[in-house]
Amino acid sequence: MPSEMLRTIPALLSLGITLALVPGMTADDLTERARKLHFSSLVVDTHDDTTQRLMDGGFDLGPRNADGSIDIPRMKEGGLGAIFFSIWMPSKVKGPEAVQRATAQIEAVRDQVRKHSNELVLATTAAQVREAHRQSKIAVLMGVEGGHMINSDLGVLRKYSDLGVRYMTLTHSGNCEWADSSTDKPAHNGLSDFGKDVIREMNRLGMMVDISHVSDKTFRDVLEVSKAPVFASHSSCRAICDHPRNITDAMMRALAAKGGIIQINFHEGFLSQEFRNAEKADPSINNAIAAEVQKRCGDKEGCQLIEGDKITREYVLQGKLPRVEWTKIIEHIDHAVKVAGIDHVGLGSDFDGANMPFGMEDATKLPKITEALLQKGYSDGDVKKILGENSLRLMSDVERVSKGSKPAR
């Protein structure tokens, strides 16, 4: 189907209007087509904080869980074929403690894969992800979310790689020892010299460089240094929602020009300007949420993330924060496609680590994205790219650079 033609028709219409646009096609036809497309595609989510729940104890990916967004039954129901489990702890945890905790999280992920080997398989290459998909297994991958976890030690970075970690986000919310974060005061003017060595080593190892969370200057430094395309594993569009965690149009273009990808984050505060404004207008709201989270969870980080999402939703229902619909995700995807191009957009939900919009409560809701994109007139091929093929191409390109050749473009 000529995607360009189809896309222009619905683009004239405002979002949320259901179709009967394509002559002879009913909504039911479209739903059926979307279902088929979705469940035959390789759906890759590049950012999920579910790992934290494993660390709290008591949580297992096997059974369907009453809360949170991710477990094996719901991944299957939502057709999620490959998932990046985030290895994360707050930026303030530093030094060897950060290393041991990160290593323990890596092992927790690997342990789940061993435990559920009928359904999960650890993957470190695009080819392994495809092989998992052929075997109807979910490919499990890992990303380290924050450079503070290597404790300025390239040896540790290499061990993470050996253990299966396929990307590293250079910072989290605070600067690390060698890179500035978008949500901290600049201390390194972007990437330090050592930070540049980190990028080069990641290129050599075939580890994807993730520029979500980093400052704009760090982003530009990375683009200059990295021999492989880089990506934003979970960031949305700053043109729609002005948050430093999001990517400006100019950044997106620069990212795409080097073969990179922006993976759209589903977090309400990154999707909706209205939500962001409300948060900013009354900081006491987030403080109150934080206090309640602390009360419920203590220092259990997995619990904090899940309860934070729950309490935020309670606030929305009480009218204290604006309601954000899942269709905002589509808006961001569509904007990014228009700015960066169809080959440069993917999904980085932030499930189990963020506040999910209404209608995208968990992984089971993912097929709605496919349907909405078809509804907007995206071709099957384009939808597949966004769902996962772009991410896999990036992985392959990064692997190629690691082996000493150029990305195939």
Partner 1 sequence: MRHIRTVGLCVFGCVIAAAAFLPRIPSAVADDISERAHKLHFSSIVLDTHDDTTQRFFTNTYDIAKRNPDGHVDIPRMREGGMNAIFFSIWIDGRVMGPQAVEKALDQIDAVRENVRKNSKDMVLARTAEDVRRAHKEGKIAALMGVEGGHMIGNDIRMVRIFADLGVRYMTLSHFYNDEWADSSTDKPTHNGLTDFGKDVVREMNRQGMLVDISHVSDKTFYDALEVSKAPLIASHSSCRALCNHVRDMSDDMIKALAAKGGVIQINYEKSFIDQAYKDAYDKETGGVVQHLSQLAKNCNNDEACISREMAKMQEKLTAEGKLPHVSWERIIDHIDHAVKLVGADHVGLGSDFDGADMPEGMEDASKLPKITEALLRKGYSDTDVRKILGENTLRIMEQAERVSRELQTQQ
Question: Considering the rule CB under 8 A, would residue 106 count as an interface residue with partner 1?
Answer: yes
CB-based contact 75:352 (threshold 8 Å): no
The phi, psi pair for 234, rounded to 5°, reads -160, 80
- Give 7's Cβ-side CA count (13 Å radius): 15
Question: Considering the rule CB under 8 A, would residue 194 count as an interface residue with partner 1?
Answer: no
How many whole angstroms separate alpha carbon 212 and alpha carbon 191? 14
Question: Smallest gap, in angstroms, from Cβ of residue 98 to partner 1?
Answer: 8
> Which region, judged by CB under 8 A, interacts with partner 1, from 68-76, 107-115, 173-181, 363-371?
107-115
Residue whose CB is less far from partner 1, 158 or 323: 158
Residue whose CB is less far from partner 1, 23 or 58: 58
Question: Smallest gap, in angstroms, from Cβ of residue 115 to partner 1?
Answer: 9
> Which region, judged by CB under 8 A, interacts with partner 1, from 152-160, 232-240, 247-255, 293-301?
152-160
CB-based contact 240:331 (threshold 8 Å): yes
Residue whose CB is less far from partner 1, 204 or 310: 204
Question: Considering the rule CB under 8 A, would residue 60 count as an interface residue with partner 1?
Answer: no
Question: Considering the rule CB under 8 A, would residue 168 count as an interface residue with partner 1?
Answer: no
The phi, psi pair for 48, rounded to 5°, reads -140, 130
Question: Considering the rule CB under 8 A, would residue 159 count as an interface residue with partner 1?
Answer: yes
Q: Return the CA Rg of the chain.
A: 20
Q: Indicate the pairing of strand 80-87 with strand 120-122.
A: unpaired
Amino acid at 16: G
CA distances, 339 to each of 218, 237, 336, 352, 367 (Å): 21, 10, 5, 28, 24
Residue whose CB is less far from partner 1, 178 or 315: 178
Contacts to partner 1 from residues 336-365, by CB under 8 A:
none
Q: Within 10 Å of residue 320's Cβ, how many Cβ atoms?
A: 14
Among 9, 26, 92, 96, binds partner 1 (CB under 8 A): 96
CB-based contact 1:380 (threshold 8 Å): yes
Among 58, 155, 283, 404, binds partner 1 (CB under 8 A): 155
- Assigned token pair, 262: 């922006």
- Assigned token pair, 93: 């945890």
CB-based contact 304:297 (threshold 8 Å): yes
> Which region, judged by CB under 8 A, interacts with partner 1, from 18-26, 31-39, 149-157, 168-176?
149-157
Residue whose CB is less far from partner 1, 30 or 120: 120
Among 4, 32, 60, 153, binds partner 1 (CB under 8 A): 153
Question: Considering the rule CB under 8 A, would residue 97 count as an interface residue with partner 1?
Answer: yes
Question: Considering the rule CB under 8 A, would residue 104 count as an interface residue with partner 1?
Answer: yes
How many whole angstroms separate alpha carbon 60 and alpha carbon 192? 39
Question: Smallest gap, in angstroms, from Cβ of residue 99 to partner 1?
Answer: 4
Question: Smallest gap, in angstroms, from Cβ of residue 53 to partner 1?
Answer: 16
Question: Considering the rule CB under 8 A, would residue 156 count as an interface residue with partner 1?
Answer: yes
Question: Smallest gap, in angstroms, from Cβ of residue 161 to partner 1?
Answer: 10
Question: Considering the rule CB under 8 A, would residue 29 count as an interface residue with partner 1?
Answer: no
346, β-bridge pairs: 263
The C-alpha angle 401, 91, 362, rounded to 5 degrees, equals 75
How many whole angstroms separate alpha carbon 168 and alpha carbon 152? 13
DSSP letters for 238-277: TTTS--TTSB-HHHHHHHHHTT-EEEE---HHHH-HHHHH
Question: Considering the rule CB under 8 A, would residue 151 count as an interface residue with partner 1?
Answer: yes
Question: Smallest gap, in angstroms, from Cβ of residue 57 to partner 1?
Answer: 13
Question: Smallest gap, in angstroms, from Cβ of residue 51 to partner 1?
Answer: 13
Among 35, 110, 310, 320, binds partner 1 (CB under 8 A): 110
Residues that bind partner 1 (CB under 8 A): 95-97, 99-101, 103-104, 106-108, 110-111, 151, 153, 155-156, 158-159, 162-163
